Amino acid sequence: MRKTKNSGPTGRKLRSQAGSSQITEFGAAIFLLLSCIVIPLLDLSIVPVRLGLGKSIVSHRVHQLAQSECLSDAFKSLQESDFHTGLTRIGGFSAKSTQLSLVATSVKNPDQSMTVDRPGRLSTDWLPGGNKGPCLYRLDLTVDAEIEPLITAKVPGVQIPGLTRPIPFHLREESNWENMGCDPLSGEFFINK
């Protein structure tokens, strides 16, 4: 049996000094790749998923509100519902504030619009058959929220959205108002009642 250079008593090759330094450098490169690129990408990859789920819930809710009988029912329903609970069930999604408003836009002049945030505030010019009409009416639901990544690093004094704190988002969804009728008893339009 012929012995090769750097072979031990069993005939196996021993690792050279150059080979061990390559393993150490490779290990450091793998560590940097994982800690600086792969883990942060995985950490932030959940944000679009949570954002999509949040937008879906907000869109569905504003569509439901637009089907209310009158505008005051829509506002009351938003305040009484478990809308915030539905958003927090996503996990890592927290709604800070919500605002519902009705936007009337003139069909003749699309640059003219009126926004009201309470029932009964729409002027007679903007009601169906008014001077600004015909108009398109839509409910606008705005949600200010924060979405957390999977892992948030706790670093004192450092505020980086997505790494050390949640990412703030402004969601806005709208839906066309559906009930354009009048109350037969009072003669008021349901859109302004």
Tens of pLDDT along the chain (193 residues) come to: 555 555 555 656 655 555 566 777 788 888 888 877 887 787 778 888 888 999 999 999 999 999 999 899 999 988 887 787 778 888 888 888 999 999 999 888 889 899 999 888 888 888 888 888 788 999 999 999 998 888 777 778 888 787 788 889 999 999 999 888 888 888 888 888 8
- The full set of domain ranges for the chain reads 17-192
What residue type is 74 in one-letter code? A
Question: What's phi and psi for 8, nearest 5 deg?
Answer: -90, -165
What's the Cα-to-Cα distance from 110 to each of 14, 66, 103, rounded to whole Å?
81, 21, 12
What residue type is 142 in one-letter code? T
Residue of 159, 160, 168, 108 whose CA lies nearest to 133: 108
Per DSSP, the three-state class of 170 is strand
Q: Residue 32: what pLDDT?
A: 82
Tokens of 110: 């699309």
Q: Residue 37: what pLDDT?
A: 82
Q: Residue 59: what pLDDT?
A: 93
The structure tokens 């605002």 sit at 99
Q: Residue 9: what pLDDT?
A: 56
Check if the beta carbon of residue 90 is closer than 8 Å to that of residue 50: yes
Q: Residue 138: what pLDDT?
A: 94
